[in-house]
Amino acid sequence: SFIFTPYFPTYLSTYIHTYIHTYIHTYIHTYIHTYIHTYIHTYIHTYIHTYIHT
């Protein structure tokens, strides 16, 4: 048990870190993408709407 103790937590820590990093990255990417898309869509829609009606 003693021999594997230093190795296993490192492996587990790396695995967890990678998993969390990937998850957060994906989540943030999706969130930002959706936010920007919505913002641009709204902006363009408003701009076109204003332009046409002016």
pLDDT in the model for residue 14: 87
- Tell which residue, 34, 54, 30, has the closest CA to residue 42: 34
Q: Give the predicted TM-score (pTM) of the model.
A: 0.47
Q: What is the band of 1 on the pLDDT scale with cuts at 50, 70, 90?
A: very low
Rounded to an integer, what distance in angstroms lies between the CA atom of residue 21 and that of residue 29? 12
Rounded to an integer, what distance in angstroms lies between the CA atom of residue 47 and that of residue 11? 53
